[in-house]
A and B are shown apart, each in its own frame.
Chain A
Amino acid sequence: MRKLSLDGGLRALLWGALLVPGLALAEEAVTVTETVVAEVAAATPTLNSGDTAWMLTSTALVLFMTIPGLALFYSGLVRSKNVLSVMMQCFAITSLVTVLWVIVGYSLAFDTTGMEKGVTNAYSFIGSLQKAFLAGVGRDSLTLTIPETVFMTFQMTFAIITPALIVGAFAERMKFSAMLWFMGIWSLVVYAPIAHMVWSGNGGLLWDLGVLDFAGGTVVHINAGIAALMAALVLGKRKGYPTTAMPPHNLGYTVMGASMLWVGWFGFNAGSAVAADGNAGMAMAVTQIATATAALAWMFAEWVAHGKPSVLGIASGAVAGLVAITPASGTAGPMGAIAIGAAAGVGCFLAATRLKRALGYDDSLDAFGVHAVGGIIGAILTGIFADASLGGKGLAEGMDIASQVWVQTQGVLFTLVYTAIASFVILKVLDLVMGLRVSEEDETMGLDLSEHDERGYVF
């Protein structure tokens, strides 16, 4: 995510403009000053139609990831009696989070009132309510070089897909009403503050720490993945798990969904440059490279471990690669992307197949195994492959690989602890107040009929 205020490099240039003329020859000084003036002019907020066009496109691409991408990916993995319930959950989350984002979510996540670099105060954790109901977000307001309306909507699509990812953990057993309450509260209590701390710019807790998270490895994937694990644990296993067969009912949907996620992710990662520039270009390239590598890595790992390459395996591998390259997409180079993709493909394969069975939790569709594990692998490796010696963009001044990896780890740990505790509390309270699960009878009948009085397939 590009910084929302004048960044360090520009400040240095401004200081340079004041100091250099006095120290250097007059001729050189004039040149430097002209360069600085040009830089400053470029940094003064003016609308860039190229950037704006790309961000309008990216916003549509990221929305497309949730509906229909994720909805199809997940609904193919459940049994046929629950196909509509999963699609409905994705669709309802899209609508609910949109309205909450307008009312207060955007302000909590991205308002920068009271924030100052290096100063930790309440606004380091959460934004003020200055932009509640989108106050001040009009036709003329700009964020960087694009209309703020576009920036707000672009960020909204991230706020939508993050809770929607959690659906995979509690699929086939959660009450629709409890799901709505959980997602609404989680979106404001967990997503908004984490997004604020990482992305809102100078003064944000994890931003100031120097955490590199270009497109949301921490904010979106680790965040959703940990909440998913909590949901799987608090709700408990599906009736009959793991002794009853619960095979995916339509892997064709899953492949279509994974393909839409892959395409949509160009908006997610390349769009996170908030510009149509070289960073966006490289983000697109590394996204493609890491995803393809991870798809192959999962496929080959499964081929070796189980004797056959599977359709579900290659599709899951692609998603794992997309997740892992997300934080690194602004800093890694092509070779870094191959390494990150390979690590994510194998790592998530082991998490979804071995770890889940060893620990015994029922994360129905592996939201934790793919998004948290892939997100953590990506977040840590981002610190390594950002280094210029490994083909990356280069680390901030004064940082080396070890110190950046430590910063990345701190970001991961903070999110892990905060999200785990907050999600657990929300789930437990809702369980007491209204109950999270459908009855055993309804679960056996399937959520399509029990929650919605509809059937996915009428023959």
Chain B
Amino acid sequence: MKLVTAIIKPFKLDDVREALSNIGVQGITATEVKGFGRQKGHTELYRGAEYVVDFLPKVKLEVAIKEELLDQVIETITNAARTGKIGDGKIFVTSLEQVVRIRTGETGSDAI
């Protein structure tokens, strides 16, 4: 089992969610986050006073999947979230040791 964590541009959230649903992913957790990477921040100007805003708003998606779906999920997120401009985000993949469905007590890939 794998946990795929993707940082994407907020306006791409709906596209990514739809694309993941289409390939059979059954659950996603989305969080509004702030951060910076190579895109860095942006500047704001108020009556001549310039502020550099370091942290930009992004959306963090967490998707728990069965291992065999990994490549497809990565490809789907990449395609759906890409604009080609700086700041499109990143995908992190980690191994998932255990999953439990609270309602039934199922564990492992049955619980995904």
Contact = CB atoms under 8 A, between A and B. Distances in A.
B110 interface: no
Contacts of A354: 48
Contact of B49 (A242, A308, A313): A242
A366 B49 CA distance: 12
Q: Which of B46, B51, B52, B53 has the most CB of A within 10 A?
A: B46
Interface string B49-63: 101110000000000
B46 A312 contact: yes
A266 B48 CA distance: 30
Interface string B21-53: 000000000000000000000001111110111
A247 B51 contact: yes
Contacts of A352: 47-48
A239 interface: no
B51 A313 contact: no
A306 B47 CA distance: 10
A246 B47 CA distance: 12
A357 B48 CA distance: 9
Interface string A305-327: 01010101100100000000000
Size category of the binding interface on chain B: under 10
Nearest to A312: B46
Nearest to A251: B46
A178 B49 CA distance: 29
Contact of A312 (B47, B52, B53): B47
A366 B52 CA distance: 21
Contact of A248 (B46, B52, B53): B46
A432 interface: no
A294 to B, nearest CB: 15
A353 interface: yes
A353 B46 CA distance: 9
Nearest to B51: A245
Contact of B45 (A310, A316, A356, A357): A310
B77 to A, nearest CB: 31
A269 to B, nearest CB: 25
Contacts of B52: 245
Contacts of A306: 45, 48
Contacts of B48: 306, 352-354, 356-357
A247 B44 contact: yes
Given A245-B53, A248-B46, A310-B45, 6 more contacts: A242-B49, A247-B46, A308-B45, A312-B46, A356-B48, A357-B48
24 contacts: A242-B49, A245-B52, A245-B53, A246-B49, A247-B46, A247-B51, A248-B46, A306-B45, A306-B48, A310-B45, A310-B46, A312-B46, A312-B47, A313-B47, A316-B47, A352-B47, A352-B48, A353-B47, A353-B48, A353-B49, A354-B48, A357-B48, A357-B49, A366-B47
